[in-house]
Structure 1
Amino acid sequence: MKARSLSCACLFTASTLLLAAPALAIKPAGPNAQPAITAAVQAAVDGKGRTPDNVKRDAYRHPAQTLSFFGVEPGKSVIEITPGSGWYSEILAPLLHDNGHYIAAVVDPMAVPEGRARDYQARGKEGLEKKFAANPALYGKARVVAFDPAAPQFGADGSVDTVLTFRNVHNWRTADQAEGMFKGFYRVLKPGGVLGVVEHRAKTDVPADDKSGYVGQAQVIAMAEAAGFKLAGSSEINANPRDTKDYPGGVWTLPPSNNHDKADDAKYKAIGESDRMTLRFVK
């Protein structure tokens, strides 16, 4: 696909528009403006090395628009916090392969208690490392670093351009680790560096013991500002007004988790993935 100097909405395919049209309310000017998608970012999103099931979720996660909003481009050093199975790794590692650095920061299994929690983190770390090793042409320069969430250190102070985190803040809040995580992000970033946050958005502030998986947007901004960051922009790229946020099973009721009765598949498929805030902070 040829790069175009157009807003993100002009780059969607017809099928994407059918799925995600309500998520395109982006302010046209100022810090919330959506920059044009660069040829390099679009090429990484269109890359043949991506898992087909991951590509299907582009309609909800808008990777080209999201990464452009965060200013990710070749030449940058980027840390992604707890990348899971590597959904964004499939885009970021090739994007930065020849010019830049991609670092996947995962929880150190030995830093969590023995049992299911340690096994879960160990499987996740091992799975990501295997994914990288299986395709050196794409991931040969990607690195996996482990951190202790109780005292997070992601690298040398002032060493990276960008820190990205996708749908993780609710976990840190419930584990009482959010304050330390945001401070860790601030330390590892260069002056002027960017923290990009995408998170399930609650209707309003939620209590500390909330188990819904949603977080208030003002709460996330407050966490970042308490660590020293300045809010530089917000976008509705990943908004979804169909998400009513009132499900008995929390956000995991919706796709892609789909923790609901089979009979309700059509109902939740029609809603789609969660309503998400997209926030850009600067050190």
Structure 2
Amino acid sequence: MTLPTKIIQACLLCCACLLLPLKAEIAAEQQSFYEQLRYYAEHPLRSDEHKARNPHRNPVDTLLFFDVEPQHQVLEIWPARGWYTEILAPYLTEQGQLTIAHHRQLQLDADNERQRFWARISRQLSDRIQQQPEHFGAVKQLAFDPPELLQLGQEGQYDRVLSFRNAHIWDQNGTLLQSLQEFFRVLKPGGILGMVEHRASRISDISSFAGEGYLDEAYIIMVAEVAGFELLDRSEINANPLDSRDHPRGVYSLPPTLASGSEDRERFLAIGESDRMTLKFIKPEYASPPPYAVQP
């Protein structure tokens, strides 16, 4: 027996009315997240130099795209000078928890100049966190330096793992897959890996031009899928169509580094920061560690 059309329409209308308060509640919650993130992105504690990069790095829209909520357990990989840490730490301090995975800080006397540089930067951020507890709260800290230091916590520990412009370094070192496998291991099923990375020029479906510091988007997606992730979404939040990606010093020719010094400085400033991919991966709810995963 088929229900009369009017009864069906009445039922659908009733269901829609019941959903309206829920939609309003979700919208209000999202607005609250937006307001909190915007407040911390413009916070007086942040330096003018850091805040000047907000239009290029789009922190509020980026963190909302990654669905970062105040109650989450969040792991930020290689925070460097703490550009995102300054926003994430106070946002998470009351209900959630921020953990940052530094470069190791015990290499201040290392023979390698790059290791000394990153050890010094990591130490400076640790000192700031200790000196400004009213802003940063209780940020947990650990060392991440693949392949030697690879462990980032317990399996299924985090709701979100976030990486901003790090993947090209792991790729150069031959540890990109290992790193992604570890992110997969420590994420909860249903957890999100958010990645922002300098984007190479795509030449064809199977090739790209990747200057220094740039990576091919399809390549990163492929490696993440090998590690067990599924691509959930991608965004052009951090795209820059002015970036030709063929600069003499690669991405480092552009601000903020401006590696060429005064040479073509105005031209690079006019281009702005690099064209960046923004990728959101999910660890499937049904996921189990793949057989090739890094063992604890």
Same fold (TM over 0.5): yes
The equivalences for 1:49-128 within 5 A come to: 49-109=45-105, 114-115=110-111, 116-128=113-125
Q: Find the residue that maps to 1:257 and give its secondary structure.
A: coil
Q: Distance in 1 between matches of 2:269 and 2:76?
A: 28
Q: How many residues align?
A: 247
Which of structures 1 and 2 has the larger relative contact order (alpha carbons within 8 angstroms, sep 6+)? 1
- State whether residues 109 and 116 of structure 2, in contact with CA within 8 Å, keep that contact through their aligned partners in structure 1: no
The one-letter code sitting in structure 2 at the alignment partner of 1:249 is R
Q: Who is 1:171 aligned against?
A: 169
How big is the shift at 1:92?
0.4
The one-letter code sitting in structure 1 at the alignment partner of 2:273 is E
- Quote the sequence identity (%): 40
Q: Find the residue that maps to 1:38 and give its secondary structure.
A: helix
Question: Normalised by the size of structure 2, how large is the TM-score?
Answer: 0.79
Q: Distance in 2 between matches of 1:272 and 1:235?
A: 19
Cα separation, partners in 2 of 1:112 and 1:261, compared to 1, 3 Å: closer
- State whether residues 162 and 196 of structure 1, in contact with CA within 8 Å, keep that contact through their aligned partners in structure 2: yes
How big is the shift at 1:51?
1.6
- The equivalent position to 1:142 in structure 2, one of 129, 139, 142, is 139
Q: Distance in 2 between matches of 1:102 and 1:201?
A: 27
Which stretches in structure 2 are left out of the alignment for 5+ residues?
1-29, 284-296
Q: Distance in 2 between matches of 1:227 and 1:263?
A: 41
Q: Distance in 2 between matches of 1:139 and 1:109?
A: 19
Q: Distance in 2 between matches of 1:255 and 1:117?
A: 20
- State whether residues 211 and 251 of structure 2, in contact with CA within 8 Å, keep that contact through their aligned partners in structure 1: no
How big is the shift at 1:265?
1.7
Cα separation, partners in 2 of 1:144 and 1:216, compared to 1, 3 Å: same
Question: Normalised by the size of structure 1, how large is the TM-score?
Answer: 0.82
After the TM superposition, list the runs of 4 or more consecutive aligned residues in structure 1 that deviate by more than 3 angstroms: 109-114
The one-letter code sitting in structure 1 at the alignment partner of 2:172 is T
Task: Work out which of the two has the higher radius of gyration on C-alpha atoms and give 1 or 2.
Answer: 2
Q: Who is 2:225 aligned against?
A: 225
Q: Who is 1:257 aligned against?
A: 257
Q: Distance in 2 between matches of 1:230 and 1:148?
A: 25
- State whether residues 105 and 123 of structure 2, in contact with CA within 8 Å, keep that contact through their aligned partners in structure 1: no
Q: Name the Cα RMSD after superposition.
A: 2.0
